[in-house]
Chain A
Amino acid sequence: MNIMLFILMIILAMFFVFISLSLFEKEGLKYVYIIYNIVSFITSFKILELASININASIITSSLFYLLTYIISIKSSEEEYKKIIKQTLCINIFLAISIFIASLYIGTVNGNSAINMKYLYLYNYKILISYPILTLVNQLAIFIIYNNIKEVTKSEIKNTSLSCLTTLMLDSILFNTFSYIFKLDFAEIIALILSNYLIKVLITLIYIFIAKLLLNNKKVKL
């Protein structure tokens, strides 16, 4: 059942990219990019168990987010890419502050939403801090890695795979270390890093054909 739901999530995430592209036309790519960034942020607070493996709930959306980052880095000029990075950072910071402030409000006695928000956002305050910073680091990493690999190989598939796989490794290590350090055991963090990376690689490999489709489609631009 869990695996079926997970596959459904992968398909739906891909489906929404095309929905957004057809609905918002030239702005579609940017909108879906920002949406997946925020959804990744929001869902990153939960850890799932999939076939006895612990993974982060944001695993699908963040894989897609980094793949879209890669596509945007190719499709846009350096200036445009810098602008997008700044926008994403700005949005993530405002979002983190807003969620933090909302969690600090003292709730009414009969409502348990205050307790839920406290357990979700205040207990995991490290995610609120690390997500905006790590997203920025990974966005920059994609750009640097892509430009370096471009000089070595001209194969589009190799370039996409190598750029995404390296960034995903960086993301899995940094995110899980900063978010769960002093909270989980060292062994649990290592297991989380490995499982997240392996599943993310699998998802990205599935999604690579979307990247190819979007890269070759001249209508898709920023």
Chain B
Amino acid sequence: MNIVLLIIEILLSYLTILLLYKKNKIEGLYLWILTFSLIIGILSQKSVEIFDLEINLGFVTNTMFFIVSNILVQKKGPEEVKKVLSIIIVSNVILFTMSITSILISNSNINLISNDAYNQIYNLNNRIYFASILSLIISLYLNSVMYHQIRQLKNKLWITNLLTNIIMQLIESTLFCIIAYAFKISFINLVELIVIRYIFKIIISIISILLIYRINKIGS
């Protein structure tokens, strides 16, 4: 069941990016960033088992952020990532402020189960939420710097994307797992989580190179 859902999620991500880009060009990519930066923190909180390996959801969306960011750097230059990061920060600050204030206000007795579930998802002590946003922001920034430098050395689309992804997905996976789980689980389990996340993300980013070529074909 989870594998089928994973395939649907990957296909849906591709379709979303492609459709938004086809209809709105660069603006469409920013809309994608704006939309999915608001749910990545929520998705990351759910841990699932895929091929008997435990992983936090949201890793597909997270990997797509690197792909979209690379497309933007490729088309508009490394300065664009500052705007991407500002969008992620501003949108999450707004979401966080609004949801936290709504948690602090008393629940209604109507729809009580859902109200409690809402409060737990947007809990202030939620390390995973912060981990997903923080690791994304740091690694996206490093990714843009690295992508730009590799591009100056070797301007081949698949080489630059592959190299940056191999390094940046490792940094992101490590950062995410450390912020979310350090001192909460054993060191061995932490390393295991990092490796699993990294493997899944690398596979998705390799497949996603096709998406970059497809978008490049559409033109700007």
Contacts and interface: CB of A to CB of B under 8 A. Distances in A.
Interface of A: 2, 5-6, 8-9, 12-13, 16, 19-20, 23-24, 27, 31, 34-36, 38-39, 42-43, 45-50, 54-55, 57, 60-61, 83, 86-87, 90-91, 94-95, 97-99, 101-102, 104-108, 111-120, 123-124, 180, 183-184, 188, 192
Nearest to A179: B111
A116 to B, nearest CB: 4
Contacts of A34: 31, 34-35
A38 B35 CA distance: 7
Interface string B97-119: 11101101111111101111111
Given A91-B31, A108-B54, A184-B111, A42 B42 contact: yes
Nearest to B116: A119
B120 interface: yes
A45 B119 CA distance: 11
A127 to B, nearest CB: 9
B114 A101 contact: no
B95 interface: yes
A13 B98 contact: yes
Contact of B117 (A38, A50, A119): A119
Interface residues of B, number: 59
Contact of B46 (A60, A91, A105): A105
Contact of A6 (B1, B105, B113, B116): B105
B5 interface: yes
A97 B12 contact: yes
Contacts of B47: 107-108, 111, 113-114
Given A43-B98, A101-B9, A107-B48, A117 B117 contact: yes
Interface stretch (B16-24, B134-142, B168-176, B202-210): B16-24
Given A39-B98, A49-B108, A112-B120, 15 more contacts: A9-B101, A24-B90, A35-B91, A42-B39, A42-B42, A45-B118, A47-B107, A48-B102, A98-B39, A101-B12, A107-B47, A118-B117, A119-B116, A120-B117, A123-B114
Interface in B179-209: none
A99 B43 CA distance: 8
Contacts of A45: 114, 118
Given A12-B101, A46-B114, A117-B117, A35 B5 contact: no
B48 A5 contact: no
A46 B115 contact: yes
A48 B114 CA distance: 11
Contacts of A12: 97-98, 101
A16 B94 contact: yes
B57 A102 contact: yes
B108 A54 contact: yes
Contacts of B95: 35, 38-39, 42
A27 B29 CA distance: 14
B211 to A, nearest CB: 16
A83 B24 CA distance: 9
A54 B17 CA distance: 38
B121 A101 contact: no
